[in-house]
Structure 1
Amino acid sequence: MSGHAYEHIAAELRDAILAGGLTPGARLPRHADLARQYGVSEIVVRQAIDDLKNAGLVETRGRGGTWVRERPPVRRISSERYLADLGPQTVPQTSFTRDQGITWEQYRLDTAYRWIGADERLAGLFGVETGARVLERHFVFYAAGVPAQVSRACLLAADVERTPVADSRNEPWPGGTINQLRTLGIEVDDIRESVTTRMPTPQEAQTLRVAQGVPVFAITRLMLAAGRVVEVADPIVIPGDRAILDYSIPLRR
């Protein structure tokens, strides 16, 4: 056996999970049983299980043992998703409900609004002076009861203060931010996104129920109207094991 014993055990269990021999929801043998099976100590078995947890393949439930993680459905996030926000809104929807393939009744949005002064990063993204008054909106998006996305989406007070858009009680809003701004006479005509991957913060992992070892997509989005940035979403966070980012890049001469 080449390599460390725990690596060999982890590899065999990983192969069994990926091949379907150990199905989602199945309980792994007890540490003591695996130790006897492989002729190693329980410390070595724990190292192997830690490897699988770090890969997002298994989870430990208190003293109830170790279980193969359920595999959440993967959704494809198309670069054309914002067409759902452009309307017309004959059926209430947003880019999120379109991505998730859910009805408006299956959609839930938790919100927290507050007024802040833009820090240096946020001011730089907006192209305004540091300290400019901004409406900071924290969202948790749910699809059929499952938390699927969190975001911090900011709007300039000069655009939205003392309007229905600044009232969290009006959420969720069909057509999302694009439709909100349209009601104020602001037509979003350009969207720019920057995508990175990282490990979730403890709060993100708890809110989104991200398993240990699973990274997230962290997206910075700018919405523009006639060249002016009118919304900054920084970040939008999506679990990496639940999404494929699907981009279309048309080439024009």
Structure 2
Amino acid sequence: MSPLPSGVLGALDPTSDRAVFRQIADQLRAAIDKGRFKEGEKLPSEAELVDHYGVSRMTVRNSFSVLQGEGLVHSEHGRGVFVRPRPPVRRLASDRFARRHREQGKSAFIVEADAVGSRPEVDSLEVKEERATPDISARLGSVRRVLARRRRYLLDGRPVEFATSYLPLDLARDTPIAQPNPGPGGIYARLEELGHRLDHFEEEIKARMPSPAETKTLRLASGVPVIHLIRTAYDTEGRAVEVCDTVMAADAYVLSYQLPAT
């Protein structure tokens, strides 16, 4: 068994009850985590790993499949297997909807993109009136018709989330909220201008594997889960004025909250 030129991979443990292909995957994963194989860098070829470990090509391929399933690598036909680049991580901070950001004319997405030095974009925008689903209706206080705003968010050209905001139609119709671009500070700034001063938000968060449509929309690698977040905004009168249903690429976010201890 000859060592690879990089010298970053060790030997297999013949006494371990862990399958050989998983041992190889473990070593490659550890090397990626330690930065020995960097984003976009090609991993050792099948032939190199076969020679290094003294195993079959199928064993090596099974190891690569494990890493692909975890979203760590991707294969390019005829070129090899590469460490998958990851988008800049955005922190979903607990103050991301603070009024001071709206007063500066910034939406939460722009604030968070600025924090990581990335270029924010919004596309796939659709604004339409529609009947509320039973769940959205219940969250908005039994409304029947809503204005739905659908959009996809990108950082440096890469999709990281898509969201749909639902607002009571009687509140949003014939206002700037119904326009494709609602103006500086986004729809929350417009809501407050309409007299609905925001009081608090409630969020429900869960992690799950994506649907085929979500995988396509967010261009997710195999094995990457999503964060599904539903947020309800309330004004100072206690009225629910918006429900935002958001699906985010889980490898692009860290949830960061400050919670009082009393």
Report the TM-score, using the length of structure 1 for normalisation: 0.88
Give the 3-state SS of the residue equivalent to 2:198 in structure 1.
coil
Q: Does 1:204 align with 2:214?
A: yes
Select 1:65's aligned residue among 71, 80, 87: 80
Give the 3-state SS of the residue equivalent to 1:241 in structure 2.
helix
Seen in structure 2, the aligned counterparts of structure 1 residues 85 and 118 have a Cα distance that, compared at 3 Å, is farther
1:168-211 deviation digits (Å, cap 9, x = unpaired):
2x25x321221121232222211111111112222322332322
The CA RMSD over aligned residues, in Å, is: 2.3
TM-aligned CA deviation for residue 150 of structure 1? 1.0
Structure 2: which amino acid aligns with 1:94? S
Seen in structure 2, the aligned counterparts of structure 1 residues 99 and 84 have a Cα distance that, compared at 3 Å, is farther
Matches within 5 A, 1:177-188: 177-188=187-198
The equivalent residue for 1:142 is 154
Matches within 5 A, 1:16-31: 16-31=31-46
Which structure has the larger Rg over C-alpha atoms? Answer: 2
Matches within 5 A, 1:1-253: 1=14, 2=16, 3-83=18-98, 87-89=102-104, 92-101=105-114, 106-110=119-123, 111-129=125-143, 132-168=144-180, 170-171=181-182, 173-225=183-235, 226-234=237-245, 236-252=246-262
State whether residues 31 and 42 of structure 1, in contact with CA within 8 Å, keep that contact through their aligned partners in structure 2.
Answer: yes
Seen in structure 2, the aligned counterparts of structure 1 residues 174 and 62 have a Cα distance that, compared at 3 Å, is farther
Give the aligned length: 245
State whether residues 27 and 66 of structure 1, in contact with CA within 8 Å, keep that contact through their aligned partners in structure 2.
Answer: yes
User: Sequence identity of aligned pairs in percent?
Assistant: 34
CA distance in 2, matches of 1:63, 1:157: 53
Segments of structure 1 that go 5 or more residues without pairing to the other structure are none
State whether residues 85 and 94 of structure 1, in contact with CA within 8 Å, keep that contact through their aligned partners in structure 2.
Answer: no
Seen in structure 2, the aligned counterparts of structure 1 residues 141 and 102 have a Cα distance that, compared at 3 Å, is farther
1:11-68 deviation digits (Å, cap 9, x = unpaired):
1111111122212111122223323332222222121111111222111123322101
State whether residues 107 and 184 of structure 2, in contact with CA within 8 Å, keep that contact through their aligned partners in structure 1.
Answer: yes
CA distance in 2, matches of 1:57, 1:154: 35
Structure 2: which amino acid aligns with 1:25? G
Give the 3-state SS of the residue equivalent to 1:60 in structure 2.
strand
CA distance in 2, matches of 1:238, 1:182: 27
Structure 2: which amino acid aligns with 1:113? V
